[in-house]
Amino acid sequence: MDALKYLPQILFSVLFLAGIGLFGRNVLKVVRNIRLGKTENRNDNKGERIKTMVLVALGQSKMVTRPLAAVMHIFVYVGFIIINLEMLEIVIDGVFGTHRIFAFMGGFYSFLIATFEVLAFLVILGCAVFLARRNSGAVKRLLSTGDLKGWPSRDANMILVTEILLMCAFLSMNAADALLQQRGEAHYITAGSFPVSQLIQPLFSGLGNDVLIGIERFGWWFHILGILCFMNYLPYSKHWHIIMAFPNTYFSKLTPKGEFTNLESVTKEVKLMLDPSADPFAAADPDAPLPSFGAKDVTDLTWKQLMDAYTCTECGRCTSECPANNTGKLLSPRKIMMDTRDRLTEVGNNIDKHGKDHKDGKTLVNDYITPEELWACTTCNACAQACPVNIDPVSIIIDLRRSLVMEESAAPGSLNAMFSNIENNAAPWQFSQADRLNWAQEN
Amino acid sequence: MAASGENPEILFWVGCAGSFDDKAKKVTKAFVKILNSAGISFAVLGTEEGCTGDPAKRSGNEFLFQMQAMQNIQVMNAYGVKKVVAACPHCFNTLKNEYPELGGEYEVLHHTQFLQKLIDEGRLKIQGGAYQGKRITYHDACYLGRGNDEYEAPRSLIEKLDAALVEMPRNRKRGFCCGAGGGQMFKEAEPGNKEVNVERAEEAIAQDPAVIAVGCPFCKTMMADGVKHFEKEDEIKVMDLAELIASAQDL
C-alpha cells in the first residue's frame, strides 16, 4: 500500500519533469529558429547592455509613457515574479509529500504568504483591467480587428483569463487551507497569514473537512499544473515576451536610432568600382557565394531582427505612434513584427517536417508583407522609440526595401527618378552640380 | 581656402536642399549671415559637394548611398576636413553616423547644436528682438530628435530669443514626423486617408503660434505646405532656427 501513498508524489514528479522537458525542447526550437538569421555582432559594450536590460526589461522604464497600463502591468509583472517564489515550495512539497515546507520560517513565512496574496489580488485586478481595455473597444490599438483579428486577440484574452484562474486557484487553496488549519485537521499545520483569502473563507465555512481538503488539493494541483501548461504555451504565444524581453533588451541597438547599417556586401562592390587599379576582367572567385543585397525572407534577416520578432507582445504602441498608420496607410510596424515571427515559425516548421533544405516557395515580402506597406514608412523611428522592449521594426523595413530595390529593381517610379538624379547630378532633384554654389551669388 | 593655406574652423555642409530649394536656400543664407557676424571662418565644398546619399539609403538603394558616401569622403579627406556643420538633420545623421565606417571620420554637428555652442562660448550673442514674447512652437525633426537624441539645442535657441516656446502634445521623443523622411519627400504618399504633414500642421496650428520653428529643410517644406492647406500662411510662418536668429537681429 506504500506505493499508493507515494502516487501523488510520483505523479507530480513525472508531470513536473515532463513540463520542464517539453519547455526545454520548445526553447531550443526557438533558439534554432533565431539562429537561422545572419550574423551580427551585439556583444560589445557589455556594461551598457546590462544597464539597458536592467532599465528597460527589469525596470520597465519605457512602459511609463502610458501610466494606467504601466501600473497594471507592474502589478501583473511583479505578481508573476514574486508568486513564482511560491513555486519553489510547491515543487518541494510536491516531490517530498510535505505541506508548506517553509512554514518553519514563522513570522517571515506569514509575511511572504501575505505578500503573495496581496499580489495575487493585484494580478487579478490588473488582468481584469486589461480584459476590460481590450474588449470594451476603448483602446484602438487593442481592438480585435486589423492586426489582432482572430488568433492574436484570442491569445491575449486566453492569457488574461488563465492568469486570473491561476490566482483564483491560489487564493481558494489558501482559504481552504486556513480553515483546515483552524479546525486542526492533521497535516495542515498552522502557518501563513491570509489577508486576501480570508475574505472568501466565509464561502467555504459551511463545508466539511473532506470537501475543504478537496478544494485545497484541487487549488494546489490546478495552480501547479496550470503553470506548467502555461509555461509550455508561452513559445506559441505573445506572452513569450516575459522571457524574451530580457535577452532582447540586452542585445538592443546601442547606436543612434538614425544610424542604419552599411551593407558590407555593397561596400566591397563599391570599393571595387571606385578602385582605379581594380581589374574589371578579373574572374570572380568561383567558390564565393553570390552576394545578396537586403532581405527577401526571414533567413536573410539577422538573428537580432528575428529575436525582435519573437519578443513582440503585440501591444501596438509602435503602430499607434506610426505617422503612416495614423494617416490611414497600410503600414503597421506591429504587423511587420508579427509577420516576421509567423513566417519564421513557418520556416522552422518546414525544417522540422521536411528537412533543412526544404523550400516552400514563399517569402516574407509579398506572401506576408506587401511592398505598399514597406513604401509607406518614413523611417521616423517613432515605432522603435515607443517599443517597451526595444524592438527595431525600421531595420526590417529597410532590409526588405533593399531587396526590393537592389535585387528586384522594384522601387516606385518616382524614387527611381530620384536615384537617377543623384547618380547623374549628385542631388535628388534635377539641378546641375555646377550650380551648387549659385545661392552665394543671390540675395 | 585650402589652396591659400587657410584652415577654416568648420566645413558648412550646405546639402542639396540648402543649395537648390528656394525655402532651404533662405536658411543657408541666414546661417551664413550668422557665421559671418560671429566671425566664424568656414568653408563650403560648393560644386564639389554631392548628395550624402541619405534619400537613396533610406529608400533601400545602398549601392547609390555608398557611391555618394565614398566620393564625398574622398573630397573631404583630401581637404583634411575635421569639423562639419550641416543645416539638415538628414545630412547630419548620415555624415555623423554612417560615414565613419566608410572612412570618413569627422566631428559633425547640426547647425542648431553649433549655434548653441557658439552662444555657450560667448561667441554669438542673440537678443529677443523681433520675436520677444511671440508664441513659437518647435517641430522636432526625426533625424535630429529620435534619430540622434538632440531635443534641447533647438529649444534653447528659441528661449534665447525670449519667445514663448509652446509645445505640441507630441513633442521630443514622441514628436510626430512631417512625412518627408525615408524617401517620402521624393514620392507620392501611399494610399491613406490623410497626408502626414496635414496631420502635423493641424497639431501645430492648434497651439496658435506665430511661428512654427523647424531645423530641417524637408520639415520646412512639409510644414509650410501643411499650413497652406489650412490657409494659415499669412498668420503662421514656418521658419528654420537659423532664419529666426538672423531675422531677430536683422542681420
Domain locations in chain A as residue ranges: 2-34+66-250, 264-275+290-434
Residue numbers in A near B149 (CB within 8 A): 256
Tell me, what DSSP letter sits at residue B177? P
Mutate which of B25, B29, B44, B62 to test chain A, going by most A C-beta atoms within 10 A? B62
Coil, strand, or helix at residue A152? helix
> Residues near A316 by Cβ (< 8 Å), separated by ≥ 6?
A141, A142, A147, A148, A334
Interchain proximity A418–B55, CB inside 8 Å: yes
Interchain proximity A380–B70, CB inside 8 Å: no
Q: Cα separation of A421 and B151, whole Å?
A: 33
Interchain proximity A270–B63, CB inside 8 Å: yes
* Mean pLDDT for all residues in chain A: 94
Residue of chain B minimizing CA distance to A259: B97
Looking at residue A87, what is its pLDDT? 85
Is pLDDT of A135 > 90? yes
- Summarised one tens digit per residue, pLDDT across range A191-234 is 999 999 999 999 999 999 999 999 999 999 998 999 999 999 99
| Same fold flag, B10-117 and B126-248 | yes
Is pLDDT of B167 > 60? yes
A398 touches chain B (CB under 8 A): yes
State the pLDDT confidence band at A280, using cuts at 50, 70 and 90: low
Residue of chain A minimizing CA distance to B45: A437
> Residues near B207 by Cβ (< 8 Å), separated by ≥ 6?
B135, B137, B166, B167, B168
Min distance A410 CA to chain B CA atoms (Å)? 10
Min distance B228 CA to chain A CA atoms (Å)? 18
Q: How many residues would you count in chain A?
A: 443
CATH number of B10-117, picked from 3.40.50, 1.10.1060, 3.30.450, 3.30.2030: 3.40.50
Report the CATH number of the A264-275+290-434 domain. 1.10.1060
Closest CA to B33 of A200, A132, A142, A440: A440
Residue of chain A minimizing CA distance to B16: A427
> Residues near B144 by Cβ (< 8 Å), separated by ≥ 6?
B89, B92, B93, B110, B112, B150, B154, B215, B216
Residue numbers in B near A370 (CB within 8 A): none
Coil, strand, or helix at residue A119? helix
If you write DSSP's letter for every residue of A217-254 in order, what string do you get? HHHHHHHHHHHHHHHHHGGGSGGGHHHHHHHHHHT---
Topology, domain B126-248: Rossmann fold (3.40.50)
> Residues near B67 by Cβ (< 8 Å), separated by ≥ 6?
A270, A273, A274, A423, B53
Q: Retrieve residue B70's grid coordinates.
A: 565614398
Which residue intervals of A279-363 are DSSP H helices? 303-311, 317-321, 323-326, 333-354
The backbone region for A97, taken as left when phi is positive above 0, alpha when psi lies in -120 to 50, beta otherwise, is left
Residue B160's alpha-carbon distances to A176, B86, B115, in angstroms, are: 69, 21, 11
B146 touches chain A (CB under 8 A): yes
Is pLDDT of A424 > 90? yes
Rg (C-alpha) for chain A, rounded Å, is 28
B197 touches chain A (CB under 8 A): no
Min distance A346 CA to chain B CA atoms (Å)? 26
Min distance A257 CA to chain B CA atoms (Å)? 5
Coil, strand, or helix at residue A77? helix
Looking at residue B129, what is its pLDDT? 80
Summarize the confidence of residues B227-231 as an average pLDDT: 98
Beta bridge partners of B135: B164
Nearest to B97 among A259, A331, A428 (CB): A259
The phi, psi pair for B238, rounded to 5°, reads -105, 115
Torsion of CA B153, B157, B162, B167, to 10 degrees: -50
Q: Retrieve residue B81's grid coordinates.
A: 576636413
B105 touches chain A (CB under 8 A): no
- Summarised one tens digit per residue, pLDDT across range A346-380 is 999 999 999 988 999 999 999 999 999 999 999 99
Min distance B41 CA to chain A CA atoms (Å)? 16
Residue numbers in A near B89 (CB within 8 A): 258
Summarize the confidence of residues B51-74 as an average pLDDT: 98
Who wins on pLDDT, B126 or A246?
A246
Tell me, what DSSP letter sits at residue A260? P
Is pLDDT of A292 > 90? no
> With a CB-CB cutoff of 8 Å, which residues 112-141 of chain B face chain A?
none
Closest CA to A169 of A120, A118, A229, A230: A120
Q: Retrieve residue A153's grid coordinates.
A: 486577440
Min distance B95 CA to chain A CA atoms (Å)? 10
Residue numbers in A near B64 (CB within 8 A): 419, 422-423
